[in-house]
Amino acid sequence: MKAVIMILLAFSASTQVNAQDTVFVYIDNEKAAQAITDPLITDVNLELKKVLHKRSKSFIVQIYGEHIKGGVYRRDLEIAGDTSIIMTETSNTPGLFDISQSDTKKRLLTGKPLKLYLLLNPANPQMALPSRRVYLGTLVMK
């Protein structure tokens, strides 16, 4: 009986560890950076070219993967540096965050790295689900 329980625990732990997301950064509708995140890796860089970003009009972060599936959680994007900015998800596309209107561009042009986190909060506050904060990567201007 103990062996069966240990096997089930090992299987459930392995499925939780492998939750990966893919993060795309688009500048003027062209892919500027891409990274695959893994809970075990804490140093993921999304390198952007300074030349592309100086003349940009749109700045979008798109996330695909395990944390975007389902409607149990409401998703927000936290951009952390000296201060934190929280951007809400676009209503018609899951995992799409338009950060063009934030001061992220100015902060990146000064050379400061910005960490991206996906904030997962229960869609219904009465649900007994924990809030989560998932590291997506660090935006770096080169």
The one-digit pLDDT tens for each residue of the chain (142 residues) are: 555 554 554 544 444 445 788 999 998 888 999 998 887 777 888 998 887 666 778 889 999 988 888 778 889 999 998 889 999 988 888 899 998 888 888 888 888 899 999 999 988 888 888 888 999 999 998 8
Q: What is the pLDDT of residue 3?
A: 56
Domain boundaries of the chain, sorted by first residue: 19-141
CATH of domain 19-141: 2.60.40
If DSSP states are collapsed to H, E and C, what string results for the chain?
A: CHHHHHHHHHHHHHHHHCCCEEEEEEECCEEEEEEEECCCCCCCEEEECHHHHHCCCCEEEEEEECCCCCCCEEEEEEEECCCEEEEECCCCCCCEEECCCCCHHHHHHCCCCEEEEEEEEECCCCCCCCCEEEEEEEEEEC
Q: What is the pTM of this model?
A: 0.80
Q: What is the pLDDT of residue 51?
A: 75
